[in-house]
Amino acid sequence: MTVSYDGTCYAGWQIQPRHTTVQQKLQEAIQQTLREASIVHGSGRTDRGVHARRQVAHFDLSEPREPRRIFRSLNAVLPSDIRVMSVRKTGSDFHARRHAREKEYRYFIWNDATVPPFLRLYRTHVREPLDVDAMRKAARLLKGRHDFAAFTANAKNEVESTVRSLRELAVRQRGAEIVIVARSEGFLYKMVRSLAGFLIRVGSGEAPSDQAETILKSRQRTARVPTAPPEGLFLWQVTY
């Protein structure tokens, strides 16, 4: 199934003790409507306050059900800030995370003195003018296959490698809105928000664009790479 959600009120995707999460709400809806306890596996985890336009997830049932009926049933009981956008049957070997070929995230910035109130939960507000050309120059240096150890936060667990292929890192502007588009076969913990934090710092003149290469080579996370706020980040789409 594909799922859209407003992450404002949730402690992220993954189930956590004493916190409300998107995965929890989906599993509760399946239990309530289909009378089965099933684990929902997402294509990836999103952090507290991060949104998703097209998260992909799968779950197993003990017997065949009509996808259209599942679609209607889940949306009838889910809170209004979580919506199942589509449901379809797949092969029993399908896995939403392991079979994903590429993910796209988009980070939205509102670069003006004030942010419209109806966008305040979905745009990161930056008041000072940003130099978009400098941001684009830094993005070009970060694009490609690199060791992104300096652009990840400690998730309290080890990863096999911090090398990733950043297939796209684009900075687009339309009026006051600036969008950072990042595509890769996979991202490290808080990698997109770290990239966005650095590009905002470049745009504000706090860091030169060519510092991107130095930071990559250092492999050390420092204050030069802040983690941008969560409200501007959307999991945009997943490709299989």
| Catalytic residue list | 47
CA distance linking residue 77 with residue 81, whole number of Å: 11
Contacts of 172 (CB under 8 A, 6+ apart): 178, 179, 180, 181
Q: Are 152 and 146 in contact (CB under 8 A)?
A: no
CA 102 vs CA 13, 28, 185: distances in Å: 19, 29, 4
Contacts of 72 (CB under 8 A, 6+ apart): none
CA distance linking residue 84 with residue 116, whole number of Å: 28
Q: What is the Cα 13 distance to its own chain's centre?
A: 10
